[in-house]
Each structure stands twice: as structure tokens, then as C-alpha cells.
């Protein structure tokens, strides 16, 4: 009987993934003065980094990811705005969606709308979440580096020319995926469980990213409080929750195929 029990436990252990991550507390340091949209701004000097471990997403199809082992996070606020500086290793800068086999790099922050009932960190579950999603392809567009799909005919539409979107149905239909960035490489979204990810009409998050010598650095910036009821709101001296995800285009990450944290981590704003 004992051997049967041990065998059963072994099988259960093999079938059920072990969540080895531990909860951490990320302190949002209060600073004075304006927070510039500058990855190398002096405001970040002396801000303590927090290492957040990631793992493959194996809770819902499509399973995968895990090539990004961790991200380094710094966070500050000045009483009016809140900012997060992310950093992680990535051997390649993947920033185009050219062709069927190209995938982009990305990183996202997730916050619950209700701090007293945050739901699960798995896309919110029963609770509504606000997601800030930085996209490497949008950053490339804003930086003037993005490669368009290669034209095969002389009349292939150039989106940069007047009337160039007239033959692109997705753009005419105002598809949020096809519309491209509206001045920011960060997309402001909401979700309530898997398959419900929705882009907001209002886009309140600014950002900037840069890749250099195998490392991505990405900055998120937003007012502490907004007028959008679908946004997470932040209060100095109060605590909320945060979750992380990252995509490695070189590893063919996309959608749920990503590196993630499966726990809500504490986010504490200094008063």
C-alpha cells in the first residue's frame, strides 16, 4: 500500500507543475521632481533593483515560454506619476512581424482594479485587471526602424503615403492590432480571464524601450490617478498588487506562449 501511495504521489508530482516562485514586495520609491521619459535619467540613480523570477506559462494553451528567466524591476513615483524601469537579458532584438515566422519581443505589467479582491494573477480570473503591454514592434515604428512587409507588386500600399491604408482592410476596420501605436509603444488593456484581452479606448500609459548588447530596458510611465474607470489607480502610502510577463520573439513567444509570474506580488508606494 505504501508503495502505491508513493507511486501515486510521484505521478501527481510529474503531472502537476510546481510553482516555485515566492511572493516579493516591490517598493515604489518616492522621488522629487518630474519623471522624464528617459531610460538613463538621473532620477533612477540609487533606486534599488528587485529581481523577479519568471517561468514558462503552463496553465493555459498555448503553453510555452520560459526562455526569459528573470527581469530586474525598479519603481518610483513623485506623488503625481508612477514609473517602472524593466531590464532583462535577450540575445536578439526581435521587433518585426514580417512573415509567418517572425515574432516580437515584449514585456507587460498587470494590476488588479480592486485591491481588496484582486482575483487571480492569471489574466484576472474572476477579477478585472489592467495590463500595460510594451511592444518591440511599436517601439521600432516610433523609432523609424520598422520593416514593412516586402512588396511583391508595384501597387502594394505604403502606409506612410497619403491614402496608403486604403487597401488594408484591418486598418479601415479599426482593428486595434493593425492600427499601430498612437504615440506610445505601450498598449493599455483590460482582461477578465483568458481570451478576454481588450485594448482600451483611452491610452494613458507612456513608455520607451531600447535594446543594447543583449539587454532590453523598458520604461513605463503613467499618472498615479486617471479618469478612466478601467485603469488601476495608485495611492501613495497604499499597497496593491503587480504581476509580470515577458515575450522572447527569438524563441517564437506569442500570446500565452511567454515567461510569467504566477503569483501576485505586493506593490507598496512610499508615502
- The reported pLDDT for the residue numbered 16 is 39
Distance CA 126, CA 117 (A): 9
Q: pLDDT at residue 21 above 80?
A: no
For residue 170, tell me if it sits in a domain. no
Closest to 28 measured CA to CA, from 222, 211, 191, 208: 222
Q: Is 117 exposed, middle or buried (0-12, 13-18, 19+ CB in 10 A)?
A: exposed
pLDDT in the model for residue 158: 62
**pLDDT at position 117:** 83
45: number of Cβ within 10 Å: 7
**CATH number (domain holding residue 83):** 2.60.40.1190
Category of 183 on φ-ψ map: left (φ > 0), alpha (ψ -120 to 50) or beta: left
Query: Which pTM was predicted?
Result: 0.84
Q: By C-alpha distance, which of 139, 129, 82, 132 is closest to 246?
A: 132
Tell me whether residue 6 is in a domain: no
Q: Environment class of residue 53 by beta-carbon count within 10 Å: exposed (0-12), middle (13-18) or buried (19+)?
A: middle
Nearest-angstrom CA–CA distance, 256 and 194: 9
pLDDT at 20 over 60: no
Q: 162: pLDDT confidence band, cut at 50, 70 and 90?
A: low
Q: What is the pLDDT of residues 108-161, one digit of tens each?
A: 999 999 998 888 887 767 789 999 999 999 999 999 887 665 555 555 556 666
Average pLDDT over residues 235-264: 92
Q: Is 66 inside a domain boundary?
A: yes
* Residue 262 vs residue 13, higher pLDDT: 262
Domain assignment present for 255 = yes
Mean pLDDT of 163-191: 76
The pLDDT assigned to 239 comes to 97
**What does the pLDDT read at residue 96?**
80
pLDDT-based confidence at 9, cuts 50/70/90?
Answer: very low
Report d(CA 104, CA 227) in Å as an integer: 31
- CA distance linking residue 219 with residue 87, whole number of Å: 9
Listed in sequence order, the residues at least 6 apart from 194 whose beta carbon sits closer than 8 Å to its beta carbon are 60, 122, 123, 256
Q: Is the confidence at residue 5, as pLDDT, over 80?
A: no
Residue 239 lies in a domain: yes
Q: Indicate the number of domains in the chain.
A: 1
- pLDDT, one tens digit per residue, over 32-86 is 999 999 999 999 999 999 999 999 887 877 777 889 999 999 999 999 999 999 9
102 occurs within a structural domain: yes
Residue 43 within a domain: yes
In-domain check, residue 178: no
Question: Domain residues for 93?
Answer: 20-148+185-269
Amino acid at each position: 500500500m505504501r508503495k502505491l501511495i508513493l507511486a501515486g504521489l510521484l505521478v501527481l508530482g510529474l503531472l502537476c507543475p510546481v510553482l516555485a516562485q515566492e511572493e516579493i514586495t516591490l517598493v515604489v520609491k518616492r522621488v522629487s521632481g518630474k519623471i522624464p521619459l528617459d531610460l538613463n535619467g538621473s532620477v533612477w540613480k540609487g533606486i534599488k533593483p528587485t529581481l523577479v523570477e519568471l517561468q514558462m506559462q503552463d496553465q493555459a494553451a498555448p503553453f510555452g515560454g520560459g526562455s526569459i528567466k528573470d527581469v530586474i524591476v525598479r519603481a518610483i513615483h513623485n506623488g503625481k506619476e508612477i514609473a517602472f524601469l524593466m531590464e532583462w537579458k535577450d540575445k536578439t532584438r526581435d521587433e518585426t512581424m514580417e512573415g509567418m515566422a517572425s515574432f516580437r519581443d515584449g514585456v507587460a505589467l498587470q494590476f488588479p482594479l480592486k485591491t481588496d479582491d484582486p482575483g487571480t494573477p492569471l489574466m484576472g480570473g474572476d477579477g478585472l485587471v489592467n495590463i500595460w503591454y510594451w511592444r518591440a514592434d511599436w517601439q521600432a515604428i516610433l523609432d523609424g526602424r520598422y520593416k514593412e512587409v516586402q512588396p511583391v507588386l508595384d501597387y502594394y500600399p505604403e502606409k506612410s503615403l497619403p491614402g496608403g491604408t486604403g487597401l488594408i482592410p484591418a486598418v479601415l476596420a479599426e482593428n486595434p492590432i493593425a492600427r499601430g501605436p498612437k504615440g506610445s509603444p505601450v498598449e493599455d488593456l483590460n482582461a477578465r480571464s483568458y481570451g478576454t484581452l481588450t485594448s482600451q479606448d483611452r491610452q494613458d500609459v507612456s513608455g520607451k524601450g531600447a535594446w543594447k548588447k543583449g539587454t532590453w530596458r523598458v520604461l513605463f510611465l503613467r499618472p498615479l490617478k486617471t479618469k478612466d474607470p478601467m485603469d488601476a489607480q495608485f495611492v501613495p502610502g497604499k499597497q496593491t498588487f503587480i504581476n509580470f510577463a515577458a515575450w522572447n520573439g527569438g524563441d517564437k513567444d506569442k500570446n500565452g506562449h511567454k515567461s510569467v509570474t504566477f503569483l501576485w506580488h505586493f506593490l507598496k508606494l512610499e508615502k
